[in-house]
Amino acid sequence: MKLNPSLMGLYQLLLDTYGPQNWWPVDHLYHREHKTDPKDEIIIGAVLTQNTLWSRVEIALDRLKRMGELSLNFVRKCPSEILEEIVKPVGFYRQKVRTLKALAELLEKVREPNYEDLIKLKGIGPETACVILLYAFHQPTFVIDKYTLRILQRLYGLKLTPKKAKKFMEEHLPKDVGIYKEYHALLDQHAKKFCKSTPLCGGCPAATYCLSANPSF
DNA sequence: TGCCAGGTGAAAG
DNA sequence: CTTTCACATGGC
């Protein structure tokens, strides 16, 4: 077993393996044609994707485009009951609509929210808040999800709380929004391909560096 | 057929 | 502080 790679080493490995993920996906053509804010798509997607497959979110985003408008302004003016029907495929749709309404309200008053503003809203936790700040507002805040925690534990033997993990990532990486965006996406991809609940260590690109794939160490 | 997916919040032990 | 549960839908 080789030495554990640095976080940047792991980043390079994942980038070489999977290629750029280019998160967050945005339909720029749509927003150009409808004169809507691409930011809104990221914010709406961030809430809708909570504990749900992205493929479900895409269905809901398409339905918003067809049945209304993919914008926070539409979220604001559309009655909750209608909005709930539109985004129903994502699951947890009642609470997600409630959250979207509150978010749209906040962002009508506050041009650029901070972490505290967001986390106060029911339905916005640490991860969704960081996703919005990083991908919509380009603030250098590292997004921690359960995949990040799992990979840190398996690779390095680190059992961290989300707060500690965030601190760890930010202390060991250049404060670079581009890297933060891409790294989170790559970790997500890696967790889906190999570092699943029951890991597929055979063929895993990080196996030679990973504690978990080398029981003898 | 039960488990899980780009979480969060409330309540209990 | 940690475990557990509800929140909901649909694919595998």
Q: Are A134 and A141 in contact (CB under 8 A)?
A: yes
Q: Where are the alpha helices (DSSP H) in chain A?
A: 7-18, 28-34, 38-48, 54-67, 72-77, 80-87, 93-109, 115-119, 126-131, 146-156, 162-171, 177-193
Tell me the C-alpha distance between A11 and A4, whole Å: 12
pLDDT value of position A189? 96
> Average of pLDDT values for A58-82?
98
Domain annotation for chain A: domains and CATH numbers: 7-21+142-209 (1.10.1670.10), 36-137 (1.10.340.30)
Q: Is the CB of A93 under 7 A from strand C?
A: yes
Question: Which nucleotides of strand C lie within 7 A of protein CB?
Answer: 2, 7-10
In DSSP notation, A155-214 reads HH-----HHHHHHHHHHSS-S-HHHHHHHHHHHHHHHHHTSSSS---TT-TTGGG-STT-
Q: How many residues belong to chain A?
A: 217
- Report which of residues A5 and A126 the model is more confident about: A126
pLDDT digit string (tens) for A2-52? 657 899 999 999 999 999 999 999 999 999 999 999 999 999 999 999 999
Residue A214's pLDDT band (cuts 50, 70, 90): confident
Tell me the C-alpha distance between A126 and A137, whole Å: 15
Q: Is the CB of A126 under 7 A from strand B?
A: yes
In the predicted structure, residue A185 carries a pLDDT above the cut 60? yes
Name residues 103-142 of chain A with a Cβ under 7 Å from nucleic strand C. Answer: none
pLDDT value of position A5? 82
Provide the CA A36 to C1' C2 distance, Å, integer: 44
pLDDT value of position A162? 95
